[in-house]
């Protein structure tokens, strides 16, 4: 409608200018008049100027409208010019409506930004953002409280707290997660993310102090360890103490003084022999327990190298060949892709695999299906896994939660330290050892590598 009115206005003005021009020429050349053509010339000039003003008026309004958007100035309003008549009333109304929408949208964005800032300032985790030059964009109260760095305006100021921490943060990749102990009261878990905002690349760090949780877990671990040690030591010391008292009684009751020494009854002598044997066995068991504890607490750092999984599997099968053959156990291997390699300490990982295969073999001794599957899979960015699967009786849910606890065992014989050591080795490899089991169907131990 506005366009039609605008076009009509232009056409009318062009027609009037054309009529005036031809009329002036006709009066000048045919009628040989001077005044009338001069007046018509002034009319043409006026019409031409008025048409230019008519055309430029909408351009000025449009330019002002676009400038308002460009400079986010939504306070402008557009009113109809009385000289333009009512033809541009709809244009002004449309401009004002658009400006109102932009104004409302901006207000909503500002409200959302304020809401997000309030949330960021009130969450317990520290939040820090910085650009490629290291300039701090956002830092919330939790981060300030954790780091206690005055005038924290540049990420390099993190070096005031710990130069090593600054180096590790600067080397972090998006999505990476690190653990860093600053001091006895500050142990940080830091996670990194990246985003683009305002044409700049920003890094976002989330920080959380896990010192309290670690201390709580450490206390719980010591309490559990104390319970285990107390239980095992008391199981050995109590019968030893009781036997010593019994042996003393036997010596008092069944021994007689003679001129050249003591005489002991045969029955008493046999009781003393049995008691000493029992004391020796219990003492040996206590020594074995202490040695197992020493093994658990003195695992060396892994000497990692890139090794083919196929070579690992072949080594394990070769070492256990006779034992597997005597128990009529078959091992199947599956490696995807076939040339899969893992970065690990081959001796330590071989020890874990032997322990897992041995446990699997013991679980399927009375089964019709005596097959153990060694499986390795490459998962791209998710890392690599090695699995040991058997189809034995499985592990009940109650035991499933405790089999990695040191000295806990479901077998009649064994120290209960093998799986605990295996998990600790995987932790030293920055990986994990997990188990899933469906009783009566299958059990799968999964070793995960990054």
Residue 219 forms part of a structural domain: yes
286 and 317: one domain?
no
Check if the beta carbon of residue 192 is closer than 8 Å to that of residue 203. Answer: yes
101 and 49: one domain?
yes
345 and 437: one domain?
yes
Mark which of 175, 209, 243 sits at the end of a domain: 209
- For residue 235, the domain's CATH number is 1.10.287
Per-residue pLDDT of the chain (450 residues; tens, 9 = 90+): 444 555 666 777 788 878 887 787 777 777 777 777 778 788 778 877 777 776 666 666 666 666 666 666 666 665 655 444 455 566 667 667 777 777 777 777 777 777 777 777 777 788 888 888 889 888 888 888 888 888 888 888 888 888 898 898 888 888 888 888 888 778 888 898 888 877 788 888 888 887 777 667 666 766 666 666 666 666 666 666 776 777 777 666 666 666 666 666 667 677 777 777 777 766 776 666 666 556 656 677 888 889 899 988 888 888 787 788 888 888 898 999 889 999 998 888 888 888 888 888 888 887 778 888 999 998 887 889 999 998 888 888 777 767 777 666 665 555 566 787 788 888 888 888 888 888 888 889 999 988
Residue 355 forms part of a structural domain: yes
CA 346 to chain centre: 28
* Spatial CB neighbours of 207, under 8 Å, sequence gap ≥ 6: 125, 126, 127, 128, 142, 143, 146, 147, 188, 189, 190
- For residue 399, the domain's CATH number is 3.30.565.10
Joined together, the tokens standing for residue 215 give 């201390």
Domain count across the chain: 4
Mark which of 172, 191, 209 sits at the end of a domain: 209
Identify the CA nearest to 73 among candidates 107, 103, 109, 108: 103
Residue 116 forms part of a structural domain: no
Cα of first residue to Cα of last residue in the chain, in angstroms, is 67
Residue 72 forms part of a structural domain: yes
* Spatial CB neighbours of 338, under 8 Å, sequence gap ≥ 6: 310
Beta strand pairing status for 330-336 and 371-378?
A: parallel
Mark which of 238, 267, 297 sits at the end of a domain: 297
pTM: predicted TM-score of the whole model, two decimal places: 0.45
196: helix, coil or strand?
Answer: strand
Residue 115 forms part of a structural domain: no
Burial 339-362 (b: 16+ CB within 10 A, else e): ebbbebbbebbbbbbbbbbebbbb
Three state DSSP letters for 256-285 = EEECCEEEECHHHHHHHHHHHHHHHHHHHH
As separate numbers, helices (DSSP H) first and strands (DSSP E) second, the chain gives: 12, 14
230 and 145: one domain?
no
Residue 117 forms part of a structural domain: no
Give residue 130's domain range: 123-209
Identify the CA nearest to 344 among candidates 314, 316, 379, 305: 305
HSE on the CB side for 8, CA within 13 Å?
Answer: 9
């Amino acid at each position: 409608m506005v366009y039609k009115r605008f076009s009509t206005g232009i056409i009318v003005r062009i027609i009037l200018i054309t009529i005036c021009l031809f009329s002036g020429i006709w009066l000048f050349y045919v009628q040989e008049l001077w005044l009338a053509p001069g007046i018509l010339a002034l009319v043409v000039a006026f019409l031409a100027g008025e048409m230019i003003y008519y055309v430029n008026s909408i351009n000025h309004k449009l330019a002002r409208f676009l400038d308002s958007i460009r400079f986010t100035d939504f306070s402008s309003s557009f009113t109809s010019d009385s000289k333009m008549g009512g033809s541009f009333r709809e244009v002004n109304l449309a401009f004002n409506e658009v400006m109102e929408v932009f104004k409302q949208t901006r207000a909503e964005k500002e409200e959302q930004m304020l809401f997000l800032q309030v949330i960021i300032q009130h969450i317990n985790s520290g939040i820090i953002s910085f650009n490629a030059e290291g300039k701090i964009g956002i830092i919330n109260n939790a981060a300030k409280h954790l780091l206690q760095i005055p005038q924290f305006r540049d990420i390099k100021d993190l070096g005031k707290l710990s130069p090593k921490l600054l180096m590790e943060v600067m080397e972090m990749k998006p999505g990476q997660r690190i653990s860093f102990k600053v001091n006895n009261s500050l142990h940080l878990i830091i996670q990194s993310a990246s985003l683009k905002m305002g044409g700049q690349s920003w890094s976002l760090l989330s920080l959380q102090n896990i010192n309290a949780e670690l201390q709580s877990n450490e206390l719980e671990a010591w309490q559990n360890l104390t319970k285990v040690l107390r239980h095992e030591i008391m199981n050995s010391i109590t019968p030893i103490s009781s036997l010593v008292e019994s042996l003393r009684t036997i010596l008092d009751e069944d021994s007689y003084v003679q001129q050249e020494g003591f005489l002991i009854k045969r029955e008493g002598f046999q009781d003393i022999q049995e008691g000493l044997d029992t004391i020796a066995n219990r003492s040996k068991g206590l020594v074995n327990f202490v040695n197992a504890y020493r093994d658990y607490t003195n695992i060396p750092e892994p000497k990692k190298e890139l090794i083919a999984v196929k070579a690992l599997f072949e080594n394990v099968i070769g070492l256990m060949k006779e034992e597997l053959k005597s128990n009529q156990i078959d091992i199947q291997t599956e490696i995807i892709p076939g040339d899969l390699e893992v970065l690990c300490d081959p001796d330590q990982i071989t020890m874990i695999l032997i322990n897992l295969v041995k446990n699997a073999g013991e679980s399927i001794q009375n089964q019709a299906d005596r097959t153990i599957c060694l499986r390795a899979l490459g998962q791209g960015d998710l890392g690599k896994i090695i699995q040991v699967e058997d189809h034995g009786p499985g592990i009940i849910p109650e035991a499933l939660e405790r089999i990695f606890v040191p000295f806990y065992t479901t077998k009649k014989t064994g120290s209960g330290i093998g799986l605990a050591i295996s998990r600790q080795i995987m932790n030293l490899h920055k990986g994990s050892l997990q188990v899933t089991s469906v009783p009566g169907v299958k059990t799968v131990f999964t070793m995960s590598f990054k």
